[in-house]
Amino acid sequence: MPSANSIIPEETFRFFRELGKNNRKAWMDANRARYQSSVVQPLRRLLEQLAPAILGLNGGFDVTGRTGANFSRINRDIRFAKDKTPYKTQMYLKFETPAPGNRETGQLYAGFSADTVTAGFRIYTGGKRKDSTIALVAQPRVQSNPRWLSQQKKRLARKYESYWYTTEKGGWTKHNGWPIDPEAWNKIQAWIVRKKMKPAAASQAAFPKELEKTFRELYPLVQFTSLLE
């Protein structure tokens, strides 16, 4: 049963389920106020509740609440996509630290879709790989200290799944497990460490505290792969 103090209501997940069945502009326009009340506002309240703990990990985390910086966009970029539906059926709350040249850095995140909640760490190359945080920070650190990844696997593998992506023949290829082979980092485009939960978990009053615990456990991955100090 949802807690009376829950931040993420069942309506959030119901909205994404219905959006999946009615993914067109006319439906979204008619349900724009509902989108604000059932998705945007609950995630903003969650951000506000998590912000002190996030800043306690690192005062450089962006907690301004801007779309793009903390919230993923609901509109899809369909210019080069085979799927031409205009809206994403999920939303991410994410925290990252600014980097030189606006490079993407490792993120702590929580994701909400029609039937799943995820929470974890992720890092992507973003633009050109040679200019990315993965290539400039993560790759040399892993290759100079290969034991680090084995240590993280030992520490986290019971609670979190890990997978990564490389580019093979022009397309992304998913690899399950922990990228503990230092040579793999010559090609890695993204690395994700996460756990999956049912929507009911987000309805519990303790959910923000669970996210705080997850972020504390995974913050060392952000430090090692992304932070220069």
Domain count, the chain: 1
Does residue 4 lie in a domain region?
no
Q: Residues in the chain, how many?
A: 229
| Domain of 149, in residue numbers | 10-226
Where does residue 14 rank: exposed (0-12), middle (13-18), buried (19+ CB within 10 A)? Answer: middle
Helices 207-226 and 41-57: crossing angle in degrees, nearest 10, is: 50
CA-CA distance, 156 to 150, in Å (whole number)?
Answer: 10
Residue 121: its H or E element:
strand 117-124
- pLDDT, position 7: 86
Does residue 209 lie in a domain region?
yes
Does residue 77 lie in a domain region?
yes
pLDDT digits (tens, 9 = 90+) for 123-159: 999 888 999 999 999 999 999 999 999 999 999 999 9
Which regions in the chain score pLDDT beneath 70?
Answer: 1-5, 80, 229
Beta bridge partners, 117, equal 112, 197
Does residue 1 lie in a domain region?
no
Does residue 37 lie in a domain region?
yes
- pLDDT, position 229: 67
Q: Are strands 90-95 and 117-124 parallel, antiparallel or unpaired?
A: unpaired
CA-CA distance, 190 to 172, in Å (whole number)?
Answer: 10
Task: Name the amino acid, one letter, at 104.
Answer: E
Does residue 128 lie in a domain region?
yes
Does residue 136 lie in a domain region?
yes
Residue 76: its H or E element:
none
Contact 122, 133 (CB under 8 A): no
- Domain of 141: which CATH number? 3.30.930.20
- pLDDT, position 5: 62
Does residue 2 lie in a domain region?
no
